[in-house]
Amino acid sequence: MKKEYTITVYTENQIGLINKIAIIFTRRKINIESLNTSPSEVEGIHRFTIVINETEDVVRKLSRQIEKLLDVLKVDFNTDEEIIWQEMALYKVAADVITEKVKVERLLREQGARAVVIRKDFIIFECTGQREEINNLIKTLEPYGLLEFVRSARIAIIKKSDGFHNKVKDFEYRVPSEALVENEFLDQNEGIFSM
């Protein structure tokens, strides 16, 4: 059964890596719903967050293929229940309409949005949350003339991964490391081969 999966990829900061990762999806005709990439907390290591709709089997195989890439340190994949995730969106509305309708401001407050820029001609609101929250605000603002809207890719924190930061640091410091890597998923048959 297809589901939403979030794939987390730790990589070297290398030119062309987005392309190398993207090829793995395009070759299998898999659509990427959202992709975020940015430096991680460790210098030189980047973190990709990729959202796709697929079966677990496909996601596992994809993850192994991504992990095979030379510049990839680690790949994890999770269902929505296993992560805390957020997206951010910006909304531009005409200032006169908004200021006339005070109710809108209250609505925004109720939805946890805030104003980023207030100008005479337009106001930009920002909302951070999950898809429904962001979509709700679109619905709310639309009657008042939503001029422009943009949504960011997803970023996510894995609930179970208390050791993540340390692991990434470990990759950083293990130079040169022992040639072998310990299989940490010894008791998880399914997870065995996703390092």
Q: For residue 111, how many C-alpha atoms fall within 13 Å in the half-sphere facing its CB?
A: 27
Give the binding-site size for other proteins (rule: CB under 8 A). 33
**Do residues 129 and 138 touch, judged by C-beta distance below 8 A?**
no
105 contact partners, CB below 8 Å, separation of at least 6: 98
Helix (H) or strand (E) holding 5: strand 3-12
Q: Does 150 bind other proteins (CB under 8 A)?
A: no
- Please select the residue that binds other proteins; options are 5, 72, 83, 85, rule is CB under 8 A: 72
DSSP letters, 25-64, are: HHHTT--EEEEEEEE-SSTTEEEEEEEEEE-HHHHHHHHH
- Please select the residue that binds other proteins; options are 38, 55, 130, 177, rule is CB under 8 A: 177
Q: Does 35 bind other proteins (CB under 8 A)?
A: no
Min dist CB 38 to other proteins, Å, is 18
- Please select the residue that binds other proteins; options are 2, 106, 109, 174, rule is CB under 8 A: 174
Q: Does 175 bind other proteins (CB under 8 A)?
A: yes
Min dist CB 51 to other proteins, Å, is 22
**Do residues 112 and 127 touch, judged by C-beta distance below 8 A?**
yes
Q: Does 70 bind other proteins (CB under 8 A)?
A: yes
Q: Does 183 bind other proteins (CB under 8 A)?
A: yes
Residues in the chain: 195
Residue 174: both structure tokens together: 């293990």
Q: Does 8 bind other proteins (CB under 8 A)?
A: no
Give the residues lining the site for other proteins (CB under 8 A): 11-12, 16, 19-20, 23, 27, 60-61, 64-65, 67-68, 70-73, 171-172, 174-177, 179-183, 186, 192-195
